[in-house]
Amino acid sequence: MAGAFVGPVVVEVVAGRIHRIRAADGTEDVDHDLVDGTLSAGLLDLQVNGSFGVDVAGADAEGWNTLLSGLAARGVTGIEPTVITAPLPDIAASLDRVGRARRAFADEPVARILGAHLEGPFLSPARKGAHRVACMLPPSAENVDALLAAPGVRDALRTVTLAPELPGAVEATRRLSGEGYVVAVGHSDATAVQVYAAADAGATMCTHVFNAQRPLKAREPGVAGAVLADDRFFVGTILDAQHVDPSVVALVLRSAGRRTVGVTDAIVTAGLEPDQWHEFGGQPVANDARGLGRRPDGTIAGAGIVLDEGVRRMIAAGLDPAAVLAACTENAARSLGRTDVGHVAEGALADLVWWDATWHPSRVWVGGKALTVPTR
């Protein structure tokens, strides 16, 4: 059942996939008898700029291994590595590296690369967030051509965030969605009418609702109001309890329901202690005491947590655990058109997490292979 807990059940895994799910009667001979906890699909984080000191934009093989294995051990079994605003040649090189990493680690028991998320450069300077305005570009046909023509980009790319009010954005949305890419509205000062026009052109996602976008007001719904009201949009929502208050996340869940997609917007400092400085987007960044990535001037640069921590923070704030987990698994998978991940269902990949009573991952499997989970 979508977004609800059921059981007890027996889950049979064959050759890395869920072969059969059946009701348990207590007489089964099982390899793992999981009691006092909850089994879910592995978490999917569709906005990961980095973690554990690794920035996806420039990661080498060792860095990718650190990132993907570290996330998997925390229950995050699939990600969209996210590349932010930079000069187009740098973006293309980063996307090419994402594609190479996806191929290199495809058969390893680590977090799966689900495709790259390009967040920039087609963003609004008025809603820049931590992005560099000097590197922003309009989504003109020429700029989109240059991006897609670069080596490795088409192979790696899955999602493009853009501001729909920019010149050429509707045409770019129609083109990108027509070629099979997910187009997300984000870092945008668009009116609701402009957001609806983007949906008409094929946009299906919102990047981090309520952050770096025109807010919801009584007489102008803005980006946030438009995507919550329009069933054509999945609604990406940061779950660190810092970017968006948990009470507002509860409103998103109540409004968008199964369209809610929980993400972190994790940056290079995610999973690290406070005040460890790294570079992100060409500028310094470190976590504050609450696990929020900030620039030296205090500007929020992204989240300093991993998604399992986001799950715990939301549940601790009183949100329904089943709805929170669904936002981070099956809803995320549906937003990408995937049925092989994010679901505990027959035929799906056996990417699974066993949560203990405090909502920490106690066991994790990727493709049916058990991983070593960090001790607390």
- Among all residues, which ones are annotated catalytic? 265
CA dist., res. 262 & res. 84, Å (int) = 19
DSSP-derived pairing of the beta strands 157-162 and 182-185 = parallel
CA dist., res. 147 & res. 152, Å (int) = 10
For the beta carbon of residue 17, count every other beta carbon within 10 angstroms: 16
CA dist., res. 369 & res. 371, Å (int) = 6
Tokens of 202: 């094929």
Q: Is 171 helix (H, G, I), strand (E, B) or coil?
A: helix
Are the C-beta atoms of 333 and 339 separated by less than 8 Å? Answer: yes
List, in sequence order, every residue forming a beta bridge with 285; answer none if it has no partner: 278
- The one-letter amino acid code at 255 reads S
For the beta carbon of residue 137, count every other beta carbon within 10 angstroms: 20
Q: Give the helix ranges, DSSP H, for 138-245.
A: 141-149, 153-156, 169-178, 192-201, 222-229
- Judged on CB neighbours under 10 Å (0-12, 13-18, 19+), 296 is exposed
Peptide bond into 125 cis (omega under 30): no
- Judged on CB neighbours under 10 Å (0-12, 13-18, 19+), 66 is middle
Edge-to-edge strand order for the sheet containing 300-303? Answer: 278-280, 283-287, 292-294, 300-303
Question: At residue 250, what are phi and psi to the nearest 5 degrees?
Answer: -60, -40
